[in-house]
Structure 1
């Protein structure tokens, strides 16, 4: 359905503009669903005057933005339309309908459009959403400049009690406040629209309302007057925004959101008091301030998002909470997956003498490591008595780069050990670390002293000779130690490394991990 509509929009600019205006309604409460847009649009029309002004504000804001040459993507994101809708509703509620008011309304929407552009530019650097900050500034300016045209705030008459359960219609009325309404039918449409697109959003809408209710009751020892405050409006919007829209939903974020919503409730009283001095309604001031503060904290370098498991969503990926969870899961799976295509770091056939988590040296953070030696038909690693380094088949054999990359660390001056002795002070011996420029690094150890041909900063290709196999470091006899790791330092945490296109015990392997005791060699180097 959406694909067909998008195709029509591409072919017809008028239909495209109408679609932008219509879809804006869903985005008011963080939804990209047309069903939600319909519910929220209808919810504004329980008072025709308010519904018309909301629609007119939406149309004019998008029209002015289009005439000013604003990129289509910003219009589709709904940022102009959302602020236009809120401005239209607020003006319809606050000012007397007249020719003067109509003129001022148009000028206010134009000012709003300029403010949206300005805030888009200011917030782009921090990857912050504009939210409804432009609406607040534009509406406050109109309030202060044209207070003589103000009337008593518009109210919507009750439609009657829905059921006999006490307070239920009051609960629905609280949710209608998300669209600056005071009508339980509007509240039902708001909840239906939220539920249709996201169960997570629905949960956070309910949770935001409960937190606002509890906060008000604790401070006042009564719920009288709760609906007359802007606490329901700000607590619900803040809970929706932080709970799963701008931040990935998780157990940790649920706790974070709870505190943030309570902060929004606190700031609501502050803004109501300060702005009330000038007779200006605070509306969504605390919602905007709290969400921006929360995102500022999350996107700063001081707060470890990953450690806390509270992950902010980049604005270009904004969708719905379920999609954000899926995105983050894919990020984690990608990070766990191996990105480097590895070849065995040698020429010819070698034996796997130690595998992953196979010995005292291959354990813990160093567990994903492999050791290789060359053996003869009798499975010996040496000829003769094996008393000298030169008796060992792999001694001074070429060691090659397992994949393309940049050399980031080299040790080339450690003496080779006599057979049967080890150097535990210089445990890694002579080594090379290659940065594969994808977050993964290869570390190869125990080179022959002075044999390493590469230096830090050199670029290497798969199969290129790095040096010769030796017996330096913690090595009683010549062998190659290989590990794929997370960092560029010797001894960094290892990760499971699979090799591609190799032969193990005469069987072709497309991708796998060589097993202990098997004979392995590269299939072909590309």
Structure 2
């Protein structure tokens, strides 16, 4: 067989991918995607040469098998097929004496674990939205260990492993903690554990705290509650208590007080499962290993997926990263967009409408139906009608288009009811003509009192945000033409309403204020962004385009190469090839928005983030808007690390910036200012960004406390 097509390392990036797939197979044990963490964990196995060799060979072979099977290249690169193979290699070396006969079982076990991993990734991920964890390791190693006594030449070390001893002095507890960390790689040794502790600190300070919590609960339960079997105790504590606490407290849930409580509950369940399974598995001649961890996590994750409201603790509904990054991403989303939910809801109409009844207000938005809104159109004098207002056609909102507030599927349509005469509501069909759309699990929107026959959609149709789904009318329990809107958790008409918030709302008053997330109140005059195509054409970022930036800060000057790309998850990215920084953004229908920035703060992309985090495709001196820059980006490294430790327990504050944008010829100039001043506040910040029609980003500037940073595009001509 010609293997060259699988490993043509002369191609750019292949060596890097092979190195990634090797090191990340180690780091995945700590839920990390950091090469440095993987390298330290690899070094930690060198304390035991046999485990060092066995683990390395296993990872290389598993990744080779995965490539031969043409499995996902990205999954291979990130270690998803290697980490269970690593555990197999370490477990074989730990539990069996070296013998050539062992290869007869070892090689098929590695190949089988790749098959099991691929199957479970599809089965659990697609049908249950659950991770594979280390189920493949258990599904392969338990049968091998059980069958080993019937295979000639294979000698098990199972009975020769000395029982673990937990002493309860402070020094001994520290040593036991390090041994428990080392045991995660089947090396219950303090030296190996110390290296893993450094790797854990490098990965995440929050995860380190959670590992302390999991271990402390293990010590307390061993001392005062459970009579645990002492054989392989370090393995069980490391695999189950420590990893369970880390996973539940900061990896799959945003690290907060509530997630720490959830992690503690998970550790207790893990202890119960450990105590119960130890007796059963012991009768079969098997150790507990990491079985309680898998059962606990899968149970908790699946149960939490069934919640009707994803909050307290908040699950990580974005690409998981370090606990610090998960918390930072979520808190930034709350600070900047005010959104607790992943899918935004837009206003369901065009032009300026007035909220005539808001949430929790009489006469109808009460009790189970308090989270609702009524809207009408009024003229400059505040009147909702012309002429005498005696006919439905007199009302300014009558037969104006009603829009889908977000993408979704039509689940209910009623369109046959006639419009009522003014002042004569239909009390039998309260909701009147309506359209209900499902936008996601337990998330339905409903618009009511539509004009008769005005919806062209039928149940089962898919709609996009902004599609016209009907016309405003006066059907149902409605005395005058208006629009009723609410969200609910089920598809049943009349179900209780749930909290809703509108995104990218312009509040009209003496000036126009763009608000990222808003709950309208009675008498509010609101609209969506009025898209200006000239402004929209200033945000050009062709995929694959590379530009050179000239960056200056004081006496320093450097060049930076930046490329536009799409990441694995379909996000548009500006990536710094010089500083390994990444800025994720989106060109929406009505605005340009930068979601987050990761990487070195020496990158010019960090200045773009500060100067234009969000820009509406509308230009006017009267339109202002606010955005919040994460304070973490402006902290020195040491203060940032200390801030990360306290972040799960205290709300982070950011720098609330005020922005305006105006057209100047072919240039769009975005100006930002932070001016809050008191003896303990952050110093004033001024920013400016320039975008050019048909070209895109041209330059960005930041002034702060005498410091001036500017980033200028080298080729700034069309």
Report the TM-score when normalising by structure 1.
0.74
The higher relative CO (CA closer than 8 Å, separation ≥ 6) is in 1
**Aligned residue in 1 for 2:349:** 342
In 2, are the aligned partners of 1:212 and 1:231 still within 8 Å (CA)? yes
What SS does the aligned partner of 2:452 have? Answer: coil
Aligned pair in 2 of structure 1 residues 305, 51: CA closer, same or farther (>3 Å)?
Answer: farther
Alpha-carbon distance in 1 for matches of 2:276, 2:37 = 32
Cα deviation for residue 336 of structure 1 reads: 7.9
Deviation at 1:33, TM superposition (A): 1.4
Q: Alignment partner of 1:370: what SS?
A: strand
Judged with a 3 Å threshold, the aligned counterparts in structure 2 of structure 1 residues 492 and 209 are, in CA distance, closer, same or farther, namely closer
Shift of the 176–370 alpha-carbon distance from structure 1 to 2, 3 Å rule, reads: same
Whole-angstrom distance in 2 between the partners of 1:518 and 1:96 = 77
2:204 matches 1:202: no
Instruction: Establish whether residue 309 from structure 1 lines up as the match of residue 309 from structure 2.
Output: no
Cα contact 2:419–2:452 (8 A) shared by 1? no
Matching of residues 184-203 of structure 1 within 5 Å: 184-203=190-209
Deviation at 1:223, TM superposition (A): 11
Q: What secondary structure, in the 3-state scheme, does the structure 1 residue paired with 2:403 have? A: coil
Deviation at 1:413, TM superposition (A): 3.8
Q: Which moved more, 1:230-239 or 1:320-329?
A: 320-329
Deviation at 1:295, TM superposition (A): 2.5
CA contact (8 A) 1:362 1:368 kept: no
What does 1:55-74 align with in structure 2 at a 5 Å threshold? 55-74=56-75
Distance 2:81 2:262 in 1: 29
Runs of 5+ unmatched residues, structure 2: 1-8, 534-718
Structure 1 residues 261 and 441, CA, compared in 2 at 3 Å: closer, same or farther? closer
SS in 2 for 1:196: helix
Aligned length: 488
C-alpha separation between the residues in 2 aligned to 1:371 and 1:380? 7
Give the secondary-structure state (helix, strand or coil) at the position aligned to 2:399: strand
Match of 2:375 among 352, 355, 370: 370
Distance in 2 between residues matched to 1:10 and 1:26, nearest whole Å: 25
User: Contact conserved, 1:198 with 1:322, CA < 8 A, in 2?
Assistant: yes
- Provide the rounded CA distance (Å) in 1 between the counterparts of 2:469 and 2:116: 58
Q: Which residue number corresponds to residue 403 of structure 1?
A: 403
Aligned-pair distance for 1:27?
0.8
Does 1:240 find its partner at 2:246? yes
The structure richer in helix per residue is: 1
Inter-partner Cα distance in structure 2 for 1:442 and 1:465: 12
- In the TM superposition, residue 397 of structure 1 has moved relative to its aligned partner by 8.6
Q: What's the offset of the Cα at 1:328?
A: 5.0
Indicate if the aligned counterparts of 1:443 and 1:485 stay in contact, CA closer than 8 A.
yes
The question of whether the paired residues in 2 share the 8 Å contact of 1:46 and 1:186 is answered with yes
- Please give the alpha-carbon distance, in whole angstroms, between the structure 2 residues aligned to 1:104 and 1:429: 68
Whether 1:323 and 2:325 are equivalent positions in the alignment is yes
Determine which structure has more spread, i.e. the larger CA radius of gyration: 1
CA deviation string 1:176-233 (max 9, x = no partner): 2222222112222222212212222212211111111111112368998895562343
Rounded to whole Å, the distance in 2 between the matches of 1:257 and 1:443 is: 41
| Corresponding residue of 1:394 | 394
Q: CA deviation at 1:20?
A: 0.6
CA contact (8 A) 1:368 1:484 kept: yes
Q: Indicate conservation of the 8 Å contact 2:373/2:485, yes or no.
A: yes
Question: 1:272 is matched with which residue?
Answer: 278
Deviations 1:497-520 (A, max 9, x none): 689899999x99999989959899
Aligned to 1:146: 148
Summarize deviations over 1:286-322 as a string: whole Å, max 9, x none. Answer: 22222222223333xxx416266345546x8332333
User: 1:492 Cα deviation (Å)?
Assistant: 5.3
Instruction: Map 1:42-441 to 2 at 5 A.
Output: 42-124=43-125, 125-147=127-149, 149-152=154-157, 165-219=171-225, 227=233, 230-299=236-305, 303-304=306-307, 306=309, 309-313=312-316, 317-326=319-328, 330=333, 332-333=339-340, 337-340=344-347, 342-344=349-351, 354=356, 360-361=362-363, 365=370, 368-372=373-377, 389=390, 394=394, 398-403=398-403, 408-410=413-415, 412-413=417-418, 415-417=420-422, 423=425, 425=427, 433=435
Query: Contact conserved, 2:51 with 2:89, CA < 8 A, in 1?
Result: yes
Moved more, 94-103 or 203-212: 94-103
Distance 1:219 1:276 in 2: 20
Report deviation, 1:434: 7.2
- TM (norm. structure 2) is 0.56
Residue 279 (structure 1) shift: 3.0
Distance 1:464 1:52 in 2: 64
For residues 426 and 73 of structure 2, the distance between their equivalents in structure 1, rounded to whole angstroms, comes to 64
Report the Cα distance in structure 1 between the residues aligned to 2:62 and 2:384, rounded to whole angstroms.
81
How far apart in 2 are the matches of 1:13 and 1:517?
Answer: 58
Evaluate the alpha carbon distance shift between residue 150 and residue 485 of structure 1 in structure 2; reply closer, same or farther with a 3 A threshold.
Answer: same
- Cα distance, 1:29–1:395 mapped onto 2, change above 3 Å: closer
Please give the alpha-carbon distance, in whole angstroms, between the structure 2 residues aligned to 1:440 and 1:305.
Answer: 12
C-alpha displacement of 1:396:
9.7
Separation in structure 1 between the aligned mates of residue 526 and residue 176 of structure 2, nearest angstrom: 76
| Higher strand proportion | 2
Q: CA 1:236 to 1:71, structure 2 compared with 1: closer, same or farther past 3 Å? A: same
Instruction: Go from structure 1 to structure 2 and tell me whether the alpha carbon gap of 1:49 and 1:192 turns closer, same or farther (over 3 Å shift).
Output: same
Equivalent residue, structure 2, for 1:3: none
Q: Taking structure 1 as reference, are residues 341 and 184 closer, same or farther at Cα in structure 2, changes over 3 Å only?
A: same
